[in-house]
Amino acid sequence: MADRELGFTTKMLTTPYAKQDPYNSLHMPVYETVAYEFETAEDIAGAFQDKKPAHAYSRSTNPSVEYLERKIVTATGGRAVLAMASGMAAISNTILALVKPGENILVSPHLFGHTYGLFHKTLRNLCIEPRFCNLLDYENLEKNIDENTRLLFFETVTNPQLEVANIRKLVKIAQKHNVLVVADSTLTPINVFSAKSFKIDVEIMSSTKFISGGGTSVGGIVVDTGVNDWSEVPTLVSFHEKKGDMALMAKLRKEIFRHFGPALSPRAAQLQSMGLDILELRVERSYENCLRLAEHFTNHPSIKKLTYPGLASSEYYQLSKEQFNGIPGTIMTFDLSTMDDCYSFMDRLKIIRRATNMNDNKSLIIHPWSTIYAEYPEPLRMEMDVRETLLRLSVGIEDVDDLIGDMEQALT
Ligand X SMILES: *Cc1c(COP(=O)(O)O)cnc(C)c1O
The CB-of-210 to ligand X minimum distance in angstroms stands at 10
Give the residue, chosen from 87, 109, 189, 396, that forms a contact with ligand X under the rule CB under 6 A. Answer: 87
Q: Considering beta carbons, is residue 74 or 206 the nearer one to ligand X?
A: 206
The CB-of-156 to ligand X minimum distance in angstroms stands at 9
Sign of the alpha-carbon dihedral angle for 19, 21, 24, 26: negative
Q: Considering beta carbons, is residue 243 or 367 the nearer one to ligand X?
A: 367
The CB-of-319 to ligand X minimum distance in angstroms stands at 18
Q: Considering beta carbons, is residue 66 or 360 the nearer one to ligand X?
A: 360
Contact region with ligand X (CB under 6 A), list: 80-88, 166-174, 248-256, 281-289: 80-88
Q: Does 265 bind ligand X (CB under 6 A)?
A: no
Name 164's bridge partners.
Answer: 157
Footprint of ligand X on 137-156 (CB under 6 A): 155
Contact region with ligand X (CB under 6 A), list: 17-25, 55-63, 86-94, 162-170: 86-94
114 CB neighbour count, 10 Å cutoff: 14
Q: Does 235 bind ligand X (CB under 6 A)?
A: no
Q: Considering beta carbons, is residue 86 or 265 the nearer one to ligand X?
A: 86
Q: Which position's Cβ is nearest ligand X?
A: 87
Q: Considering beta carbons, is residue 219 or 236 the nearer one to ligand X?
A: 219
Q: Does 88 bind ligand X (CB under 6 A)?
A: yes
By rule CB under 6 A, what count of residues binds ligand X? 16
Q: Considering beta carbons, is residue 157 or 236 the nearer one to ligand X?
A: 157
Give the residue, chosen from 62, 64, 108, 159, that forms a contact with ligand X under the rule CB under 6 A. Answer: 159
Name every residue whose Cβ is closer than 8 Å to that of residue 282 and which is 6 or more positions away in sequence.
Answer: 210, 213, 214, 361, 397
Footprint of ligand X on 173-232 (CB under 6 A): 184, 186-187, 206, 208-209, 218, 220
CB 111 within 8 A of CB 85: no
Q: Considering beta carbons, is residue 145 or 358 the nearer one to ligand X?
A: 358
- Which residues bind to ligand X, rule: CB under 6 A? 86-88, 112, 115, 155, 159, 184, 186-187, 206, 208-209, 218, 220, 358
